[in-house]
Amino acid sequence: MTGARAIDAQVVSTGRTVAASRALPEEVPVALVYNGTTQAVMMATPCDLNDFGRGFTRTEGLGDVDSIEVVSHANGIEVQMWLPEDRATVLSGRRRAMAGPVGCGLCGIDSLDQAIREIPKVDAEVTISSRQIATAMVALRGGQALHDQTRAVHGAGFFHPDQGLIAIREDVGRHNALDKLIGAVQDCAAGAVVLTSRVSVEMVQKTAHSGASIILAVSAPTTLAVKTAEAANITLVALARDDTFEIFTHSHRIQTEEASDVA
């Protein structure tokens, strides 16, 4: 699946109407099913769904799935996954029983404890330079093929200090894009997560479960995202545009030109 479909439209400009075709992102219900039980139904772009399932499982703190299968139905898609029974039982305590809109990463969570649950403290000590941050942001924007088609999706990328931007995933939902990325990358501890979106607390929680120690984002974080990143030992860099960015937590992983001059 490409994730986009051509839709007829009428373009009106300076009083003239012209028939046209516009590529728009697809958005379908995707059920995440574990051992035969639906855990969540998310509205998502129907591409890279194996990555989506694996990444969602990891960011829920459940490790890797034993097997996975994507099954299409008339009214949506199931990502059917199998876990050992002990790990599947953990899900029953926080089942997301309602559909999750694309803008929300916590829909269906039914208690405050589940919303702000404990997350692992990241121990990776990757460092990147100011120049690499600029390179990562440009590479992510330049590699968003679906966004170029539709102008309507978020992107999440993985930047390796020695290899550059090695993976990009896109979705109408920013949380979904990040889950897809985490499912696609074997060793997130080796680099930085790069985001086109704002940084909310769920984005930090997912990154912590991936093991990545640096988040780079084009937009601003929320106050809770900053607090959570501080507690999880994650370096949070946001408002990264051109050669300007702001560091909110754990700045020791960022090598600025001033630091290089002092050294």
Residues with a catalytic annotation lie at: 104
Residue 175 CA to residue 52 CA, distance in Å, equals: 10
Residue 86 CA to residue 83 CA, distance in Å, equals: 8
Q: Yes or no: say if 129 and 212 are a contact pair by the CB < 8 Å rule.
A: no
CA separation, residue 79 to residues 37, 97, 172, 173 (Å): 11, 16, 18, 17
Q: Which long-range contacts link 223-231 to residues 24+ away (Cβ below 8 Å)? A: 224/200, 225/199, 225/200, 225/201, 228/119, 228/201, 228/204, 229/204, 231/119, 231/121
